[in-house]
């Protein structure tokens, strides 16, 4: 390179560095190389976790490396505590042209942790205080061989989606609970309140005046710490089977879903009702499907994506999740444990590997700390690998 050309290159690089430094503080604009600013949208993803690494919620992929994580009543958790099938409310920003959003928070919540009241393996149902849970082919069972292994009095934790038409829950994940006796943690909507008591999921809640706190992650601006009709709360306390009530030791408020105007929304849920104009009510959100969309009935599980306008999610994409169709999940990361020749742990999930298609390696490469990407499905409650790609 001659001296004149070298001088021009140095000058050009210096100018680029200076321009980058000047623009580095603006997080809402950028350029795709055209000089035109790139928009950055606030985005909310809501639904069961379908992928770990990256985290996918409601069909939206999130980079959660800098996100605040909460699980039930606990804040300041780690990304390693999130699991497949956990319903999550994810918030972040999405730059124009990108597929992956940068997550600011991910909040996972189970419906209930508490004692089993009844088990019906033939019907695929579990009854807990205030909750009737339906088990289907995609329900992940953690350390539970089958529903027949469960019995009244055992503590379990159920994650799932509301089935408003029946008042039941479609369980997406069921695990052993960690609460003794009749201790309970219940997520639900307040249907009535007297000021000293409230009704949540058909149960009377007492001692509400002295037990309300704000949830570890809540919509911004922060809602008032009150228990009022139609608000979503988590009640922690002791269940009394005789009176079918809960003496609350703590009530987490501020959990009512927020759908701010102009936000991008990606959600998955079960349609609770339909309006005469075709609007759908899903996960506390009114969804207006594209005119070209197939008519969707109440009780249908869907994914929808669009933007909030005038209090309505103007969906540009709506897809139906077929009833009882086998769903595919994904996990990526290092092998954390090799339990036996056919069972490994990745991202905290116990996975059967026999029969999987192997790409980029052999069964001998399934070893501790080996980076893998696994596509899997649920077989009788267990996670089973369909494809293992060695990275």
DSSP 300-347: -EEEEEEEEETTEEEEEEEEE--TTPPP-EEEEEEEEEEEETTEEEET
* Domains 40-108 and 329-390 equal at CATH topology level: yes
Confidence at residue 220, expressed as pLDDT on a 0 to 100 scale = 60
Confidence at residue 1, expressed as pLDDT on a 0 to 100 scale = 43
Of residues 30 and 214, more confidently modeled: 214
Query: 346 to each of 51, 64, 109, 246, 352, how far by Cα in Å?
Result: 12, 17, 21, 37, 11
Reported as a pLDDT band with limits 50, 70 and 90, residue 323 is confident
**What's the half-sphere exposure (Cβ side, CA atoms, 13 Å) at 79?**
21
Interval 144-159: pLDDT, tens = 999 999 999 999 999 9
Provide the residue ranges of all domains of the chain, joining segments of one domain with +.
40-108, 112-253, 264-320, 329-390
Query: 74 to each of 66, 77, 94, 258, how far by Cα in Å?
Result: 17, 7, 27, 20
- Cross-strand pairs, 155: 115
Confidence at residue 35, expressed as pLDDT on a 0 to 100 scale = 63
Confidence at residue 32, expressed as pLDDT on a 0 to 100 scale = 54
**Six-digit token pair at 102?**
């940068």
- Containing 260, the helix (H) or strand (E) segment is none
Question: Can the peptide bond before residue 221 be classed as cis, meaning omega within 30 degrees of 0?
Answer: yes
- Asked: is 264-320 a CATH 1.20.120 domain? The reply is no
What's the rounded Cα separation, in Å, for the pair 161 and 268?
9
Confidence at residue 221, expressed as pLDDT on a 0 to 100 scale = 63
What's the rounded Cα separation, in Å, for the pair 336 and 161?
30
Interval 7-56: pLDDT, tens = 333 343 343 333 333 333 333 444 555 567 889 999 999 999 999 999 99
Query: 143 to each of 147, 156, 335, how far by Cα in Å?
Result: 11, 11, 19
DSSP at 33: S
Q: Which CATH number fits domain 40-108: 2.30.42.10, 3.40.50.150, 2.40.50.320, 3.20.20.70?
A: 2.40.50.320
Residues 6+ apart with CB under 8 A from 352: 342, 343, 379, 382, 383, 384, 385
CA dihedral of 249, 253, 257, 258, whole degrees rounded to 10: -160
What's the rounded Cα separation, in Å, for the pair 171 and 136?
7
Name the residue among 284, 287, 326, 325 with its Cα closest to residue 303. 287
Confidence at residue 224, expressed as pLDDT on a 0 to 100 scale = 66
Q: Which CATH number fits domain 329-390: 2.40.50.320, 3.40.50.300, 3.40.50.2020, 3.30.70.600?
A: 2.40.50.320
Contact 103, 90 (CB under 8 A): yes
């Amino acid at each position: 390179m001659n001296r004149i050309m070298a001088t021009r290159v140095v000058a050009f690089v210096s100018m680029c560095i200076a321009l980058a430094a000047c623009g580095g503080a603006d997080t809402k604009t950028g350029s795709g190389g055209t000089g035109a600013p790139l928009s950055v949208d606030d985005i909310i993803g809501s639904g069961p976790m379908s992928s770990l690494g990256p985290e996918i919620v409601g069909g939206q992929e999130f980079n959660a490396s800098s996100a605040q994580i909460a699980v039930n009543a606990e804040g300041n958790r780690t990304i390693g505590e999130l699991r497949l099938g956990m319903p999550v409310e994810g918030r972040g920003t999405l730059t124009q042209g990108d597929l992956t959003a940068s997550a600011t928070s991910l909040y996972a919540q189970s419906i209930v942790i508490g004692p089993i009241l009844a088990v019906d393996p033939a019907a695929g149902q579990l009854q807990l205080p205030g909750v009737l849970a339906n088990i289907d082919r995609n329900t992940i069972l953690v350390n539970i061989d089958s529903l027949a292994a469960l019995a009244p009095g055992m503590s379990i934790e159920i994650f799932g989606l509301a089935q408003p038409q029946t008042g039941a829950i479609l369980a997406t994940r069921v695990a052993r609970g960690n609460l003794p006796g009749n201790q309970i943690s219940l997520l639900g909507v307040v249907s009535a309140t007297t000021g000293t008591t409230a009704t949540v999921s058909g149960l009377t809640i007492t001692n509400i005046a002295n037990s309300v706190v704000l949830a570890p992650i809540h919509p911004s601006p922060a809602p008032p710490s009150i228990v009022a009709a139609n608000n979503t709360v988590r009640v922690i306390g002791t269940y009394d089977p005789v009176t079918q009530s809960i003496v609350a030791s703590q009530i987490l408020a501020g959990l009512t879903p927020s759908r701010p105007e102009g936000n991008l929304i990606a959600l998955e849920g079960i349609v609770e009702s339909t309006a005469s104009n075709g609007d759908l009510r899903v996960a506390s959100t009114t969804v207006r499907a594209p005119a070209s969309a197939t008519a969707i009935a109440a009780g249908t599980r869907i994914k929808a994506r669009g933007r909030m306008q005038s209090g309505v999610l103007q969906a540009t994409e709506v897809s139906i999740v077929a009833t009882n169709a086998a769903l595919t999940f994904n996990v990526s990361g290092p092998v954390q444990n090799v339990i036996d020749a056919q069972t490994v742990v990745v991202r905290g999930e116990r996975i059967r590997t026999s029969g999987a298609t192997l790409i980029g390696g052999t069964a001998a490469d399934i070893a501790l700390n080996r980076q893998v990407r696994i596509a899997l499905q649920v077989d009788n409650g267990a996670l089973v690998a369909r494809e293992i790609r060695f990275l």
